[in-house]
Amino acid sequence: MRFTLKQLSYFVAAAETGSITLASERVNISQPSISAAISVLEANFGIQLFIRHHAQGLSLTSDGMRFLREAKVLLLQADELQNAASEISTRIGGTLDIGCLATLFPLVIPELLHIFKNRHPNARINALAGNQPELFERLREGHIGLVLTYDLSIPADMEFTALAPLPPYAYVASNHKLARKHSIRLDELASEPFILLDLPLSRDYFLALFRQAGTTPQISGRYSHFDVIRSLVARGEGYSIANIRPKNQSSLDGRKLSYLNLESSLKPLSYGIATLRDLRRSPTVKAFLELCCALLENKKLPGTV
């Protein structure tokens, strides 16, 4: 940068008053400081801004007149930037972009957006669904301000605020031979075809449950969409495991599912909010975090059983 905003403001004061003395009085700074700022601008840009009249003050050159017009525009923009920054730092408003795991998104995001909009009509939330690695990358790049996710491999540069645990469960078609059982062990399903939710980190978590239970799944399919798996399971193509239990115990095509509790020793997931560590939070981000804690902390997810 070849100039400072302070130098520009001193120059504008001198140009508008036509006098170093009057400019000094206007901005409440010493006359030598005004003269030095003008000299630095002239030297850095290689132009003469003023014609100095002995004992009669200053008058702008033609180059100085053009420079004055642009300097005043820039100073006005700087004032607008300062006002915007003050507004961002003190009020709940503007746009907040957030991310959410695709499996959580349809259950938690609609209610959060609805309540937040009613509480803070001057703020707008844009929500993006995705998998954890891509959402974390967008968080690092500044495209989103926070991520609703699971406590799976949280990087060191991020802070995770846990909201509630989500124990794993198995689900089968409503006419499956085990559908009427209240709970089940994973080894009881070992001979059944297993349909895996094949998403980054999630797949490793589910496969680790089988290792923890001392058994091996018979994987018959891998899919990245929760509703596809629910539809296949409802048709009797196998069973699957999840951590979110939607109230709607039917697949998208209307076939019924049965949820089965798994042995309690299996590791649950915790869902919560990931933010960049040591990043200053705006009032809008703070308000959204407060809503999440009030609505979700140690409570069941909206739309789940």
According to CATH, the topology of domain 5-90 is: Arc Repressor Mutant, subunit A (1.10.10)
Both tokens of 269, joined, read 């997931």
C-alpha angle with apex 105: 231 to 203, nearest 5 degrees? 60
pLDDT of 269 reads: 93
Q: Which residue blocks in 169-261 are alpha helix, DSSP H? A: 202-212, 226-234
Res 80 pLDDT > 90: no
* Per-residue confidence band for 78, with pLDDT thresholds at 50, 70 and 90: confident
Say how far apart CA 244 and CA 266 lie, in whole Å. 15
pLDDT band at 86 (very low <50, low <70, confident <90, very high): low
Mean of all residue pLDDT scores within the chain:
91
Which residues, at least 6 apart from 63, have a Cβ–Cβ distance to it below 8 Å? 47, 48, 49
Q: 52-61, 179-188, 279-288: which has the minimum mean pLDDT?
A: 52-61
Angle between helices 5-17 and 20-27 (to 10 degrees): 130
Position 87 scores a pLDDT of 63
pLDDT of residue 231: 97
pLDDT value of residue 91: 74
Confidence band, pLDDT 50/70/90 cuts, at residue 53? confident
Which three-class secondary structure string do you get for the chain?
Answer: CCCCHHHHHHHHHHHHHCCHHHHHHHHCCCHHHHHHHHHHHHHHHCCCCEEEECCCEEEECHHHHHHHHHHHHHHHHHHHHHHHHHHHHHCCCEEEEEEEECCCHHHHHHHHHHHHHHHCCCEEEEEEEECHHHHHHHHHCCCCCCEEEECCCCCCCEEEEEEEEECCEEEEECCCCCCCCCEECHHHHCCCEEEEECCCCHHHHHHHHHHHCCCCCEEEEEECCHHHHHHHHHCCCCEEEECCCECCCECCCCCEEEEEEECCCCCCEEEEEEEECCCCCCHHHHHHHHHHHHHHCCCCCCCEC
For 171-203, b where at least 16 C-beta lie within 10 A, e where not — what string?
Answer: bbbeebeeeeeeebbbebbeebbbbbbebeebe
CATH 3.20.20.70 correct for 168-262: no
Angle formed by the axes of helices 105-119 and 283-296, nearest 10°? 120
HSE (side-chain half, CA atoms, 13 Å) at 199: 19
Angle formed at CA 250 by CA 249 and CA 251, multiple of 5 degrees: 130
pLDDT of residue 90: 60
Residue 81 pLDDT: 83
pLDDT beyond 90 at 249: yes
Mean pLDDT within 33-54: 90
Confidence tier at 66 by pLDDT (50, 70, 90): very high
The mean per-residue pLDDT over the stretch 121-133 comes to: 93
The values of phi and psi at residue 32, to 5°, are -60, -35
Instruction: Quote the CA–CA distance of 216 and 187 in Å, as a whole number.
Output: 8
User: 93: pLDDT confidence band, cut at 50, 70 and 90?
Assistant: confident
Judge if 94-165+269-296 and 168-262 fold alike in CATH terms: yes
At 305, the pLDDT band (50, 70, 90 cuts) reads confident
Answer yes or no: is pLDDT of 3 > 90: no
Is the per-residue pLDDT at 56 higher than 80? no
d(CA 170, CA 241): 4
Calculate mean pLDDT across residues 120-138. 93
The domain defined by 94-165+269-296 folds into D-Maltodextrin-Binding Protein; domain 2 (3.40.190)
Domain spans in the chain, listed from the N-terminal domain onward: 5-90, 94-165+269-296, 168-262
Does residue 246 or residue 82 have the better pLDDT?
246
For position 1, what pLDDT does the model report? 61
Of 153, 96, 122, 21, nearest to 289 by C-alpha is 96
Range with lowest mean pLDDT among 3-12, 84-93, 176-185: 84-93
Q: What is the pTM of this model?
A: 0.70
Q: Which of 47-56, 190-199, 271-280 has the lowest mean pLDDT?
A: 47-56
